[in-house]
Amino acid sequence: MPKNPYETLGIAKSATETDIKRAYRKLALQYHPDKNKGNKEAESKFKEINSAYEVLSDKQRRAYYDQTGAMPGDHSTGGGSYAQGSPFGGGGFNVNFSEGGLGDLGDIFDSFFGAGSRSSASRRRKSGPYRGNDIETSIKLSFIEAAFGVEREFLLTKLTRCEKCEGSGAEPGSKIMSCKTCNGQGSVDAVRQTIFGQVATQHPCTVCEGRGQTPERTCSTCQGTGRHKKSDTIKVKVPAGVDTGSTLKVSGKGEAGPLGGESGDLYVQIEVEKSKEFIRDNYDIHSEKEIPVPDAVLGCEIPIKTLYGEITLRIPAGTQSGRIFKLKEYGIQKINSRDRGDHLVKITVTIPSKLSRREHELYEELRKKS
């Protein structure tokens, strides 16, 4: 006995069209054979789901089931016999994914059969020429350049728009004609056999790149592609605060799209050279300063080199080796912010390895008094 389509989709009898579609999408993706290869139970469940949706997504079929409790086209329940092609036809599940067919469910079948359904092909054809590829390069900065920001200029060889034909692919002065391969449609039809039956699909025409038009004579510079390899000067403004591993996106500076398509983006990977004086920790700066024993015992003032110039640091009497002093906001500026990290200075008290006779005598006197 055929199963209750509401129970199959896990919805109430009062479910709206949106509820039905949502339930179908979820279950169809869960039990699709491509995700459950060799699982006969999943395959059977998938067929039940589609049978249930076929009934409930059609107003006439749903009304018939609600009134009789029988699945349309089911002979065993007294539901009657219906000729193929009628509203309740019992024939195969032949699907044509054209716009106006399954509508917003086209993306489900795109994931099942690849992005080749009529709906997806139509969307691509409407979007115009293809976008160019994103590309990636890298630049090396000094420690100071990364801390304060810099503008860099460099040459990059990539596919750029052909200046001769302005990206059209046509020799200047030649006519633009309807593509003979796709008859100006921008796509070609194909029929695939699936578990649903025959599925009509469309793919972008490889001759006209989905435009539906071809030039009478192709451009002699780019051979009709609308783009060619060329070295281009790129200017990149690097903000203050970048570090190794940072990536900058430069919109529209990737490769040009074919036949006038928009350019992709350029991604610039940053590598920062190490400093001989500073160690970076996120936005903080670390450095070390050595002082002699007398200065640590009695206190002193010492010069400290920072990113922003030299400052004087006061060392209080009795400072122990290893003590860290914080210079607030003397670190690196945070990206897209006016805030800065701190500069942390570690004090190391140096112990002399050799003493003069007088120094030895003085240390002996101190030891006796301690």
Give me the pLDDT at residue 180, please.
84
Q: Strand 95-96 vs strand 343-350: parallel, antiparallel, or unpaired?
A: unpaired
C-alpha angle with apex 156: 150 to 157, nearest 5 degrees?
175
What is the per-residue pLDDT across 251-273, written as a single tens digit (0 to 9) for each?
Answer: 999 999 888 888 999 999 999 99
Q: DSSP for 68-94? A: HSS-TT-GGGT-----TTSTT--S---
Better-scored residue on pLDDT, 71 or 132: 132
Q: DSSP for 22-74? A: HHHHHHHHHH-GGGSTT-HHHHHHHHHHHHHHHHHTSHHHHHHHHHHSS-TT-
When the pLDDT of each residue in the chain is averaged and rounded to a whole number, the result is: 82
Query: Among 249, 247, 362, which residue's Cα sits nearest to residue 297?
Result: 362
User: Tokens standing for 174?
Assistant: 């030649």
C-alpha angle with apex 281: 237 to 287, nearest 5 degrees?
110
Distances (CA, A) of 69 to 6, 13, 225, 285, 360: 11, 12, 60, 76, 109
Domains of the chain: 5-92 (1.10.287.110), 94-127+179-215 (no CATH), 135-175+217-272 (2.60.260.20), 279-369 (2.60.260.20)
| Residue 351: band (very low, low, confident or very high) from pLDDT cuts 50, 70, 90 | very high
What is the per-residue pLDDT across 211-225, written as a single tens digit (0 to 9) for each?
Answer: 788 888 889 999 888
Burial 23-54 (b: 16+ CB within 10 A, else e): bbeebbeebbbeeeeeeeebbebbebbbbbbb
What is the per-residue pLDDT across 6-50, written as a single tens digit (0 to 9) for each?
Answer: 999 999 988 898 889 888 888 888 888 777 878 888 888 888 888
Number of Cβ within a 10 Å radius of residue 237:
10
User: Tokens standing for 67?
Assistant: 């009134």
What is the per-residue pLDDT across 112-124, written as a single tens digit (0 to 9) for each?
Answer: 444 444 444 444 4
Query: Among 227, 235, 234, which residue's Cα sits nearest to residue 160?
Result: 227
Residue reference for tokens 């050595």: 290
| Residue 76: band (very low, low, confident or very high) from pLDDT cuts 50, 70, 90 | very low
Spatial separation of the C-alpha atoms in residues 210 and 313, rounded to whole Å: 69
Q: Residue 283: pLDDT above 80?
A: yes
DSSP letter at 146 equals H
Give me the pLDDT at residue 111, please.
46
